[in-house]
Amino acid sequence: MGTSSGSNLPHQMLPPRQQLQTVLSLASSEPPHLSRSSSGIVRESPAESASSQETWPTSKSIMAKKTESGGKSVTDKVSLQDIARERVELVSERMLRLPEGYLEELKNGLKAILDGNGSQPVEEFMFLQKFVQTRSDLNSKTLVRAHRVQLEILVVIKTGIQAFLHPNINLSQTNLIEIFLHKRCRNIACQNELPADDCRCEMCANRKGFCNLCMCVICSKFDFAVNTCRWIGCDVCSHWTHTDCAIRDGEISMGVSAKSVSGMGEMLFKCRACSHTSELLGWVKDVFHHCVPNWDREALMKELDFVRRIFRGSEDTRGRKLFWKCEEIIDKIKGGLAEATAAKLILMFFQEIELDSPKSLENGEGGGMIAPQDACNRIAEVVKETLRKMEIVGEEKLRMYKKARMGLEECEREMEEKAKEVAELKMERQKKKQQIEEVERIVRLKQAEAEMFQLKANEAKMEAERLERIVKAKKEKTEEEYASNYLKQRLSEAEAEKEYLFQKLKEQESGGNGGGGEASQSVMYSKIREMLSGYNAPSPRVDPRSNQRNHFGSNP
């Protein structure tokens, strides 16, 4: 692409990034789970046909569940299949009577299919898209009478871009109709009328919906990458191609540029739109010269990787050097090289290969003798360039030395801190060891005390048992003595009572009273017999604690 490729940089292809912030996550060329052909139309599976109504129930069941909560009758409700198949004006009249909530559910149902949340999202979308694409009544006259939501759904079904359903995307009805009819770019960030820039090439004329300002010539997709080697522009027709698509389809290869004077081969890009070739080394140099200050570390590594893959198959000296240089800088960046230094190295490399270009060789070796002053000037330039390169390398070495020195000092500080921590841990360990020994000593002391108390408890228990036996023996002896004394006392009392009764009996006998005397005498005899029988009976065990006494001295 040489020096002319600077006018075709990707940042002129798409609007600036700040204008795309509201649609970056909304607009895409197609749903991620659907495959597209080169014409931008979803391919239909051979096993599917328009008459296969049995495969459609999934979409109907989804819409039936979502319409149960509405207030309208079943005949008034509209499904995605109705919008795709029935006449525009009839569906529009029915949608005018539907509440806003139902229309939102209808849009959400289509979003779910595009997101792949249905049971068969690809098949459902293919059915809807086939219905829409095979209809001949969808033109500017009929679509003008369509309901707003109906038109948005038709556009989404045809393009596969669900960003048109987003509430923040508010396109006019005219623009939606033009997008549906391929008269306006479907890229929301572009929105140019088609064909863009009134291009009359075969690509723009035959490929419906293609925009040469923002879409790839090979895959017809668009994205929002700017200031990058991801896109390659043609020097002649200004059409754009993804670098990955060009590499995959063999549009980047070795060849002889028409602008080359030496006739040496180099890496060329062949535009599929106009079949013209453009050299790639100058294009890469221009992109890096204009855009490398704005790249961060990750972006720089990606761009170097793009260049490395572009020149992987290069057979010329400069292309091979660029390939090796990209690999070298990528490895250095992974090893910690700053992106600013890496950018300086690649720009300096482009200056070096510019001095070694075939044109310079032609002026030197093939053009005859060089004037002494020119030779001195060229030598001075080479020396200056070498000195500048040495200064950059020296600065980088100094930076790396300082970084290594700082790392060493940091390591030494960490080692000192670790040594302090080790000493503290040793002291803590010794302290813990002393505490453990003290606890063990206390435990041994407590164990000895426990054994002593256990021994004393055993002795006390034995003494208690001995005392209990003594008490029991004394108790038995006391009971026996008490019983003996009690019986002796009873016996003496009985003897006294007996003597008393005999004495009284004698007195009564001597008194000689008649019948009354006999009666009292018989009573007295009976009492004497009872007492004598009681004395002859065995004496019962007497409770020593009892205080009861029988006093025989009293008269009955």
Average pLDDT over residues 422-436: 93
Question: Which of 153-167, 200-214, 220-234, 508-522 is the least confident region?
Answer: 508-522
pLDDT of residue 416: 92
Tell me: pLDDT of 322 over 80: yes
Give the separation between CA 384 and CA 396, rounded to whole angstroms.
18
397 in Cβ contact with 390 (< 8 Å): no
> Using the 8-state DSSP alphabet, how is residue 36 labeled?
B
Total H helices, total E strands in the chain = 17, 5
Residue 421 or 237, more confident: 421
pLDDT of residue 55: 32
354 CA to centre of own chain:
49
Residue 226 or 521, more confident: 226
Q: What is the pLDDT of residues 524-549, one digit of tens each?
A: 667 766 766 665 555 555 454 444 44
User: E-strand spans in 211-295?
Assistant: 231-233, 240-242, 252-255, 266-270, 277-279
Four-point Cα dihedral 242, 248, 251, 253, nearest 10: 120
Give the separation between CA 319 and CA 269, rounded to whole angstroms.
14
Tell me: pLDDT of 189 over 80: yes
pLDDT level of residue 10 (50, 70, 90 thresholds): very low
Contacts of 221 (CB under 8 A, 6+ apart): 29, 30, 36, 215, 242
**5 SS3 class:** helix
Q: Which residue has the tokens 């925009």?
A: 211
